[in-house]
Structure 1
C-alpha cells in the first residue's frame, strides 16, 4: 500500500483531533512534520515521523494517539520543570541570616 498523501494525512488527523488545525510537511527523506494549532496559543510540532510506519487509515489512528501522548508528556514535563525552577529573587534557607 502506498503512503498517504499530505492532504490525506492532514484530513485524517484533523478528524481525530478536531480542536486542532493540522499542517503537515512531507520531506524528501520520507519523513513527515506536523504542526498542530489549537485554541488560542496552544501549538505543538512534531518532526521526523517516518511515513512508511503509518500506511493506511488504521495507522493514522495510531499516529494520532501517539501525537496525543507526546502532547500530554510534553505538557507534564513543562509543568514539572516550572514547579522545580526557583525564582531568581527567592530567599534560600542556606543563606546566612535567612
Structure 2
C-alpha cells in the first residue's frame, strides 16, 4: 500500500493551482493538513485528510480534485452567507432584535 508523500501531494496541488503556494504537513496520526496560499489574501486550509484513504497512482488526482471542489464549495458558501446577512445586523446576533 503506497501512501502519498508530502512532496508528491504538494507538487500535484501546485500543478493544478500554479498561482498558489502549497504547504503540507504530515501528522503522526496518519492525517495530512494542506495550506494553500494564493495571490493577495486568498488562503485556504484543509485538515484531517486521512492519507490511508488515498493509495496508488490515481490517489493524488482524486485528492487534488476533492480539495479543489472543497475550495469552490467553501467560496460559494461564504458568498451566499454574505448575500443573506442583512447589512444593518451584526453577524453574531441571531434572531434577536436590538
TM-score category, normalised to shorter length: 0.7 to 0.9
Q: CA contact under 8 A between 2:3 and 2:51: conserved in structure 1?
A: yes
Mean CA deviation greater in 4-13 or 42-51: 4-13
Q: Which residue of 2 aligns with 1:57?
A: 57
Q: Which residue of 2 aligns with 1:6?
A: 6
In the TM superposition, 1:10-89 aligns within 5 A as: 10-88=10-88
Q: CA contact under 8 A between 1:4 and 1:55: conserved in structure 2?
A: yes
Offset of residue 62 of structure 1: 0.8
Offset of residue 18 of structure 1: 1.7
- Structure 1 distance, partners of 2:74, 2:36, is 14
4+ aligned runs moved over 2 Å, structure 1: none
Where does the alignment leave 5 or more consecutive residues of structure 1 unmatched? 90-98
Normalising to structure 2: TM-score of the pair? 0.82
Structure 2 counterpart SS, 1:57: coil
Normalising to structure 1: TM-score of the pair? 0.82
Aligned residues: 89
CA root-mean-square deviation:
1.4
